[in-house]
Structure 1
Amino acid sequence: MRWELLFADLESRLEAEERAEVEAEIAKRTRDERAAVTLAGRLAAHAGGRVALVLRGGGRVAGAVADLAGAWVLLDTAEGQAVVPLTAVAALDGLGHGSAPLTEVRRRLTLASALRELADSGLPVAVETDGGTWRGVIRAVGADHLDLDAGGVARTVPLGALLAVRAG
C-alpha cells in the first residue's frame, strides 16, 4: 500500500470530523437563537399579515397584525380593532417562522398602558373575559385592573381575566 493513500485517508477522516464539528456548532447556535425568540417577536415579523388567534376558552380573533408590544397585539379585524393580551392566546394560526426584534420601549409597553390610551379616548369598547363580554367605556386603568362603565354599572375587571378588548 502506498503512503499517499494512507495520508489521503487520514486527511478525509479529519475533514469529516471537522465538518461534523461545524455542523454541530451550527445546530447548537440555531437552537440557542430559537430559544431566545418570543411570541411578540414572531408577531412583529408578521406585521400587516393575517393571523387567527385562538383564545383561552376557545374564542377566536382573526385579523391583520396592526401593532404590538411585548404583552399584547392589536389586530385589524372585519368587525374593527381588537387588543389581545398575549397571555390570553392559547394558539395562533397563520404565523410565519420569522422573528423581528422589539425596541426596548415596545418590550416594556404594558397592556395597562395601552388600555389607558383607550380610556383617555373615551371610545366604547367590548371587554371580553372568560366570564362574559361587557360593552361600555373604560373609565380608569389600575396596575392590574380596569374600571368599565357598562351602561350605568360600574364593573371592575382584573387584567388577568381579559381575553380581548374590541372596538365598540
Structure 2
Amino acid sequence: MRWERFFDDLEGQLDAEWEAERAALDTEAERLRLSRLTLRERLAGLVRACEAVSVELSDGTVLTGAPVGVGADWMALEAALRRGGAVLVPLGGVVAIGMPHADLLRSARPAASGAGLSERMTLGFVLRDLVRKRIPVTVGCTGGRTFAGTMDRAGADHLDLALHELGAPRRREAVTGHRVVPFAAIGWVRLEAPVALP
C-alpha cells in the first residue's frame, strides 16, 4: 500500500515538473513571438475589428477613428461622424496610439498570415493612386500648416498639390497656388471624398 502511494506521489511530481517545464517553454515562445511583432502587424490586426483608436502625432495632433487600412508605412482611419473619406497617417509621425484594453490585447495575438499587396504598399503608392483618381485632399504638415486642394503628382518622396477651395473642382481658374510637399513633412492626408483605398 505504501509503495503504491509512494509511486503515485512520484508520478504526480513528475507530471507537475513536466507541466511546469512545458508552461515555461510556452511562455518563452510567446515572449520570442512578441519580440518579433511589428507595429504594422499589430495595426493590421485591428483593421475592421476595432471601433476607434486615437492616434497621437509628433506635432501634437490627435486623430480618432476606426482603422480601415494599413500599408507598409501608413495607416488609414475613418471617423465615424465624418462625411468623406479616410485619413492617411504615415507611421513615422505616430507618437502613441490609444485604444481599449481588449483591442490592445487583440492586436498582440497571432494574426492569420495574410501577407499580401497591402503589406508592400507604401504611402507614395497610395498617393499616386489618389492622383490618378483626382481626389481632393487636405494635407496636414508636421509643423501645423494645412493645405487643401488636389494632388497633381506624387513622386518618390514628395507630392505636388494644386491649392483650391475643396467644394470647387480642380480647374485652372480655381487654383490659387501650388505647393511641393515632401513626404517627410506630411503628418496626415484627409481624403475629402469617399474612395476605396487600394
TM-score normalised by the chain length of structure 2: 0.74
* Equivalent position of 1:21 in the other structure: 21
Alignment partner, residue 137 of structure 2: 125
Which of 94, 98, 115 in structure 1 is aligned with 2:127?
115
- Which residue pairs with 2:179 in the alignment? 155
Q: Give the distance between the partners of 1:119 and 1:144, measured in 2 at CA.
A: 14
Question: Do structure 1's residue 93 and structure 2's residue 123 form an aligned pair?
Answer: no
Task: Give the structure 2 partner of residue 82 of structure 1.
Answer: 87
Secondary structure at the counterpart of residue 58 of structure 1: coil
Q: Is the 8 A contact 2:140 2:186 kept in 1?
A: yes
**Is residue 126–residue 133 contact of structure 1 (8 Å, CA) maintained in 2?**
yes
Unaligned runs of 5+ residues in structure 1 are none
Deviation per CA, 1:15-49: give whole Å up to 9, x if none. Answer: 23212210111101111222233323322222233
CA distance in 2, matches of 1:3, 1:134: 85
Seen in structure 2, the aligned counterparts of structure 1 residues 58 and 156 have a Cα distance that, compared at 3 Å, is same
Q: Is the 8 A contact 2:70 2:119 kept in 1?
A: no
CA distance in 2, matches of 1:74, 1:5: 64
Q: Percent identity, aligned pairs only? A: 35
User: Segments of 4+ in structure 1 off by > 6 A?
Assistant: none
Q: Structure 1 length normalisation: TM-score?
A: 0.86
Residue 22 of structure 1 aligns to a residue whose secondary structure is helix
Please tell me the residue identity of whatever aligns with 2:185: A
Distance 1:12 1:63 in 2: 53
Measured after TM superposition, the shift of residue 157 of structure 1 is 1.5
Within the candidate set 113, 116, 140, 1:104 is matched to 116
SS in 2 for 1:157: strand
**Which structure 2 residue ranges, 5 or more long, are not aligned?**
165-175, 193-198
CA distance in 1: counterparts of 2:38 and 2:130, whole angstroms: 26
Instruction: Give deviations 1:42-97, integer Å, cap 9, x for gaps.
Output: 22222233222111121111112222223212211233321111222111122612
Question: What CA deviation, in whole Å up to 9, does each residue of 1:138-160 have, x standing for no partner?
Answer: 11111111111224432221212
Equivalent residues, number: 168
**Partner residue in 2 for 1:67:** 69
